[in-house]
Amino acid sequence: MTQFSEVLRIESAMKNKSVKELEWALWYCGMRQAVPSARPADVKYWRAMQEKVQEVLAPPVAEKVYPTQKKKSGGRGLGMGPQDEA
C-alpha cells in the first residue's frame, strides 16, 4: 500500500526539520482531525502525527543544571584578607 503524498510530505518535513513545512504539517494534521466525517481511528492517527511534528518543531527544553557550591579553602574566615607570607 502506498502512502499519501501529504504523509510523505510531513515525514520529509520532520526529517529535514524545515520550519515552514513543519508549520504546514501542524495545520494539515489539525485540519484532518477537524473533518466531521473523520473516523475515531483517523483522528487518533492524526493526533499522534501532530504530536510528533510538535516534538520536532519545538524540542524539549533541557533540564537546567545548577552549579554546586564550592568548598572554601581552609584558613579563610571573615575579615581575613590576603595574607602575605614574609
31, part of any domain: yes
pLDDT-above-70 percentage for the chain: 76
Per-residue confidence (pLDDT) for residue 85, from 0 to 100: 65
Per-residue confidence (pLDDT) for residue 34, from 0 to 100: 92
Please give the full DSSP string across 15-65, using - where no structure is assigned: HHT-HHHHHHHHHHHHHHHH-TT--HHHHHHHHHHHHHHHHHHSPPPPPP-
Q: Which domain holds residue 30?
A: 5-57
Q: What is the mean pLDDT of residues 49-57?
A: 92
What's the number of domains the chain is made of?
1
More confidently predicted of 71 and 9:
9
Q: Is the pLDDT of residue 45 over 90?
A: yes
69, part of any domain: no
85, part of any domain: no
Q: Is the pLDDT of residue 68 over 90?
A: no
29, part of any domain: yes
Per-residue confidence (pLDDT) for residue 1, from 0 to 100: 47
